[in-house]
Amino acid sequence: MATQMSSAATVPVPTRPAVKTRRSVNARQVIRYGLLYAFLIALSIIFLFPFYSMVIGSMMPKDELFRLYPVLWPPDGPTLTAYRLLLKIDVTTTIQNLERFHILRYIFNSLLLATVAVLLQVFFNTLAGYVFAKRQFPFKNQLFAFILLTMLMPTAINFVPFYILIGRLGWMNTYLPFWIPGAASAFGIFMMRQFIVSTIPDELIDSATIDGASQIMIVTRIVMPIMAGGMVVLGILGFVSVYNEFVLSSLILKDNDIRTVQVALANFKGTSIRAPMYDLMFAGSVMATIPLLLIFFVFQRKIIQGIMSGAIKG
Amino acid sequence: MAAKAPPLPVSRSSVGAHRRPDARSVLREMWKHRTDYLFISPFYILFAVFGIYPLLFGIQLSLSRWQPGRDMTWVGLQNYQTLIFTDPELGRALLNTLAMLLWILPTGLGGALILAVMLNARRLAGRGFFRTIFFLPFVTSQVIVAIVFQQLLDKNYGWVNLLLGKIGLGPVPWLTETIPAQISITLLLHWMGIGTNVLIFLGALQSIDRELYEAAEIDGATSTQQFFNVTFPLIRPVMLFMVITATIGLINLYAPVKLLTNGGPEGTTLTLFMRMIDLMTSVRYGEGAGFGFIMGGIVLLITLLQMKFLSGWWTVEGNLKQ
């Protein structure tokens, strides 16, 4: 199906038709578009509000967050106290658990975990994607069908024994469970294959082969440079999902020093059920989101087009 | 590398020159393509170690009683019996999960489709702007969203109840009563995920030829008629794909519920995946493994039912498409 869609997408479809003299904009349409804009703007405000409440909440004194009537703006102006507390800048605190809460360390852990995971994923998936896109060899179709079939395997079916296996390998409290098992994935191979099939002409590979280039040279010198864009899309989607992963990391990363920022925040949240320290949790959340926001705004166009082309299911 | 070699000598001796004269040439062809097999081998090796092996181990585990450091005792189907007949949690978690599926699936996919159709309006300016805003929650994690929503939905100090109070509706205990809690989880998931679905639908909508709409317009079709007679038939395959993947994702629902309600109040938002993790962390590995197989069976059953009932959706109707 994705093949169909991407081939359909290459057919030039005018996204905005040239202004035609057919019919001038009538009153009914003005009203319709007015309502449409009103609805979309209202919905946009609703969608942005959680971000706003997180950012402004991180700059409010704790008491303001527990008023019977929440306020949009702190009456005494925004303050950075929560950030100073988290970063332990010239403040002494008596808040329990905060002493052992090293937000920058956790963010670094998350970045390290996600970066290595993504580099491995992108390399191995591109390698296999190239072979399935451009090479002919015995049992190719069967092997590829098998990869697609594995996508149907429900996650839950082997989750418990997988967890036990991680323990037996001595991989508890390490990042290996996030790096190794996912280094080559059915989804990634499928996606890279689709990208490569539609991007790289066979003649290019053939002429390189005739010139005596080895397969690994063809992949690293020809395929990867051309596919950089596709690899970036795959990499970013992988990065976001690994950076935000919670289920497995909450079960495996128990040591304080090795926790990812998600696990640490969830744990911090758990320790303060009775009187949530929202100011600190919001400040931590804002800091944890900043790396992904930066990536998002730099690569926005690529991510959105990648998902829209249908090659990707987020 | 060396792992690729063994099949060769073994099969050569067993197949030999007996029945299939081309077996040898196939093997020679395979040997010629050994780098290709090498390049694709990581997936199969990793899948064997981290997919198949746990699966087989899980079968054994689900039929045994075992704790780390002890011997494994064979107990037959006892774990399954306990899970299905004695333990009330499986049925409860299944009902909760299905109930949430019924909340979330139609509103999520229907809402995303309506939004995509709106954003696809011909003369809409700022399409990219709205698209970005609805997609922005993509960067947040389930943990952070749960933190933010916990405060927004707080019974006494939250924004949602403040606004409801303004129009005369009493404070709703969003996180401490069953139906409101399920609605809260639905809202959270929609806020996080609807942008991605909108993008996929928008991609499908934009691949529809505009001329079809113009033809329908000339025939006097209203926009509602256009939607049901042109748009929907053309995007049904995408819709079916999304119904299936969303269902599978929702049956595995864990983090938002764990962090927002922790399965409460009184276990009424406990999901299947949460129950499995509970069994696992309380070292009831045999039952946990069995639970995994039951869940896998449920996922496959629901997927098959959806495929059966929506089988007409696989294809695009008639020759509408160019």
Lowest mean pLDDT among B77-81, B251-255, B309-313: B309-313
Tell me the C-alpha to C-alpha distance, in Å, between residue B298 and each of A159, B51, B85, B91.
15, 19, 17, 12
Give the Cα separation of A122 and A131 in Å (integer): 14
Which residues in A lie closer than 8 A to residue B204 (C-beta atoms)?
5, 310
Q: Within an 8 Å CB–CB cutoff, is residue B141 touching chain A?
A: yes
pLDDT for B216 equals 87
Q: Do B139 and A289 touch (CB under 8 A)?
A: yes
Question: In this complex, how many residue pairs, one in chain A and one in chain B, have their CB atoms less than 8 Å apart?
Answer: 277
Q: Least CB-CB distance to A296: which of B139, B157, B295?
A: B139
pLDDT at A69 over 70: no
Tell me the three state secondary structure of residue A170.
coil
> How many Cβ atoms are within 10 Å of B226's Cβ, its own excluded?
18
Give the Cα separation of B47 and B233 in Å (integer): 37
pLDDT at A65 over 80: no
Confidence of residue B39 (pLDDT cuts 50, 70, 90): very high
Q: Which residues are CB-contacts of B170 (< 8 A; sequence separation ≥ 6)?
A: B164
pLDDT at A8 over 50: no
Percentage of residues in chain B having pLDDT higher than 90: 39
pLDDT at B4 over 50: no
Confidence of residue A5 (pLDDT cuts 50, 70, 90): very low
Tell me the C-alpha to C-alpha distance, in Å, between residue B4 and each of A130, A291, B34.
19, 41, 8
The pTM score is 0.86
Residue pair A289/A50 in contact by the 8 Å Cβ criterion: no
Q: What is the DSSP string of B183-225?
A: HHHHHHHHHHHHHHHHHHHHHHHHTS-HHHHHHHHHTT--HHH
Mean pLDDT on A237-255: 93
Confidence of residue B245 (pLDDT cuts 50, 70, 90): confident
Mean pLDDT on B63-87: 88
Q: Which residues 199-218 in chain B show a CB within 8 A of chain A?
A: 199-200, 202-204, 206-207, 209-210
Residue pair B304/B241 in contact by the 8 Å Cβ criterion: no
Confidence of residue A4 (pLDDT cuts 50, 70, 90): very low
Mean pLDDT of chain B: 85
Given CATH 3.60.10.10, say whether it is the number of domain B83-314.
no
Enumerate the domain spans of chain A: 25-100, 103-308
What architecture (CATH level 2) is domain A103-308?
Orthogonal Bundle (1.10)
pLDDT tens, residue by residue, A14-31 = 455 444 444 556 888 888
Q: Do B141 and A49 touch (CB under 8 A)?
A: no
Give the Cα separation of A200 and A133 in Å (integer): 9
Give the Cα separation of B143 and A250 in Å (integer): 11
Question: What is the phi/psi pair of residue A4, to 5°?
Answer: -55, -45
pLDDT for A106 equals 96
Give the Cα separation of A272 and A279 in Å (integer): 12
pLDDT tens, residue by residue, B166-183 = 887 878 888 888 888 888
Which residues in A lie closer than 8 A to residue B131 (C-beta atoms)?
304
Searching chain B, which residue's CA lies closest to the CA of residue A134? B36
Q: Within an 8 Å CB–CB cutoff, is residue B101 touching chain A?
A: no
pLDDT for B19 equals 54
Lowest mean pLDDT among A115-119, A182-186, B240-244: B240-244
Confidence of residue A6 (pLDDT cuts 50, 70, 90): very low
pLDDT for A81 equals 84
Q: Within an 8 Å CB–CB cutoff, is residue B227 touching chain A?
A: no
> How many Cβ atoms are within 10 Å of B149's Cβ, its own excluded?
25
Q: Do A138 and B139 touch (CB under 8 A)?
A: no
The DSSP element (H or E) to which B306 belongs, if any, is: helix B285-309
Q: How far is CA B243 from the centre of its chain?
A: 9
pLDDT for A1 equals 37
Confidence of residue B211 (pLDDT cuts 50, 70, 90): confident
pLDDT for B23 equals 85
- The four Cα atoms A306, B246, B244, B309 give a dihedral, to 10 degrees, of -130
pLDDT for A87 equals 86
Q: Within an 8 Å CB–CB cutoff, is residue A160 touching chain B?
A: yes
Mean pLDDT on A95-116: 89
Residue intervals of chain B classified under CATH 1.10.3720.10 are: 83-314
pLDDT for B229 equals 86
pLDDT at A96 over 80: no
pLDDT at B111 over 70: yes
pLDDT for B51 equals 96
pLDDT tens, residue by residue, A256-313 = 999 999 999 998 887 655 567 888 889 999 999 999 999 999 998 888 887 876 544 4
Give the Cα separation of A151 and B198 in Å (integer): 23
pLDDT at B49 over 60: yes
Q: Within an 8 Å CB–CB cutoff, is residue A52 touching chain B?
A: no
Q: Within an 8 Å CB–CB cutoff, is residue A49 touching chain B?
A: yes
pLDDT for A68 equals 62
How many Cα atoms within 13 Å fall on the side-chain side of residue B218?
A: 6
Residue pair A160/B61 in contact by the 8 Å Cβ criterion: yes
pLDDT for B208 equals 85
